Chains A and B, each alone.
Chain A
C-alpha cells in the first residue's frame, strides 16, 4: 500500500462575517454586521502520496493560496478535514514573516524555531543558510534595510535549507536576480527530487509546473476541474485560458 502524506476530504473554507468592524461603523448601522459568506474553497477532496510533487494552477482568485494556507494549518477548515499524517510542514511564500527591526541572523533563528526546529539545529545550519542567501554583511543588519529581492532570498534560503517533510511553495520560483533565480531553481529541483519529500507548488508558470510536477491540479472558483498528468491538464488549461 502506498503511503499518503496529505489527505484532504470535502474541504470547505469560507470567509464570512469575520471582517473587522469599527465601533463607529456599527453604531451608524444598527442593523448589525453583514453576514455575507464567500466560499473560497468549495468542498474539494484529494490525496498526495509521500514523495509526490503536486502542482496547482488556476486563475487568480480560484482558491489556490487559501488551500495552501489551510494545508499549512494557518486557516482552519470550515468543513471537511485535512490530514497530514503527522508530517512537519512549511509554507514557502514570498517574504516569510520577518521582524523588520531584527537582523537577518536573528530572523533566521526565529523563523527556524517557528518551523519547529531547536535552537541547536538552526545554529548548525546557520552558516549554510547565510551562505546560500549570499547577503554578505547585510546578514547582521536589520531586515528593514533589505531590498525586496534580498528579503525573498533570505526567506527562500531558510525554508530551502531547513527541510520539512512537506513543502508548500507559493509562487516562489522566481526570486531575486538572474543568478539567484538559477541557483534557487537548481536547489528547488534537488530538494524536490528527494524521494521522501512531498511538495505542493502553486504557480502560474506552466513551464515550471510541467518540468517539476508528477501531477497537476487545475482549480477554478474553489473547485477542482481536473487532476492528473501535467501535460494533458496543462494543455487543456491553456486552451481554457485563451
Chain B
C-alpha cells in the first residue's frame, strides 16, 4: 500500500499530463471538438426521452434529468471498464520501453472519463435550475456516492487490466457482461418498478443500480439514499481496489513478456 501511494505521487504529474493530452487530442481531431462531450450524452438523452418518455409514457418526475444522471454514471463506468481490458496492449509501445506502474494508466484514463462525467453532471445542475427543482441538504450525499463510484470502477479496472493481458478474448466477454448490467441498472426506467424479489436483489447486488438510484434520490427528489448498502459497497470497492493493486504489483513484470 505504501508503494502504491509513493508511486502514485511520483507519477501524479505524468498521469495528469497524459490525461490532459488525451483530452486535447480527442478535441483536435474532430470538427465540433469539445462540443461532442456535451452533444453526445445530450443526444442519447433525447433518444431515451423520445422512446421511453414519449412512446412508452414513463411518468418519472424530471424525466430528462433522471436519464442524464443515469447516463453520466453509466458512461463513466462503461468507458473505463472497456478501455481497461486492453490497457496494457494499447500502451505496449510505452510499457515495453520504460517502467511505469500500470495503475497510473488506469488513473489517467479515469481522469479523462471523469472529466466527461463532470460535464454531464454540470448539465444536470443546469437542468435542476431549469426545472426549478428544490435542493436541500440531502445533496451532500453526492460526495460519498461519487467516491464509491470512482473506487468501485477503479477496483474493477485493476482486475480487468490484469485479466486482459492474459486472456485474449476478455473484451468479448466484458462486452456481453456490460450489456447485461446495463439493462439491470435502470438508466431509463425505475428499478423500483420491478416486482420483488428482483427489485431488492438488483438494488443491493448491482452497485451501479444502487449508486444511480441513490444519486437520483438525493439530487432530484430530496430523499435520503440507502446509506447502509452504500457503506457496504464502499467497503467492497475498497477491498476490490486493494486486491487489484496488490495483484498488479505482483504480476506487472510478466505483462511485458506476454504482450
Contacts and interface: CB of A to CB of B under 8 A. Distances in A.
Given A97-B96, A97-B97, A18 B254 contact: yes
Nearest to A98: B93
B12 to A, nearest CB: 10
Interface of A: 15, 18-24, 69, 72-76, 90-91, 93, 95-99, 101-102, 106, 109-111, 113-115, 118-119, 142
A73 B101 CA distance: 11
A239 B165 CA distance: 43
A20 B168 contact: yes
Which of the listed residues B22, B29, B92, B96 has the most CB atoms from chain A within 10 Å of its own CB?
Answer: B96
Contacts of A91: 97-98
Contact of B14 (A20, A76, A114): A114
Given A20-B168, A72-B98, 8 more contacts: A15-B257, A18-B166, A18-B254, A20-B167, A96-B97, A97-B91, A110-B14, A142-B29
A21 B96 CA distance: 20
A113 B22 CA distance: 15
B93 A97 contact: yes
A74 B95 CA distance: 8
Nearest to B94: A97
Interface in B155-189: 165-169, 173
Given A109-B17, A118-B13, A119-B17, A23 B173 contact: yes
A112 to B, nearest CB: 9
B135 interface: no
A115 B254 CA distance: 21
B99 interface: yes
Nearest to B172: A23
B91 to A, nearest CB: 7
- Secondary structure type dominating chain B contacts: helix
B100 interface: yes
B100 A114 contact: yes
B256 interface: yes
Contact of A101 (B29, B92, B256): B29
Nearest to B259: A20
Contacts of A118: 13
Contact of A21 (B21, B22, B92, B166): B166
Contacts of B253: 74-76
Which residue among B97, B166, B257 has the maximum number of chain A CB atoms within 10 Å of its CB?
B97
Given A20-B167, A91-B97, A114-B98, A75 B256 contact: yes
Contacts of B96: 69, 74, 97
A114 B13 CA distance: 10
A110 B14 CA distance: 7
Contact of B13 (A90, A99, A106, A113): A113
Contacts of A95: 93
Given A75-B253, A114-B14, A118-B13, A21 B168 contact: yes
Interface in B8-32: 11, 13-14, 17-18, 21-22, 24-25, 29
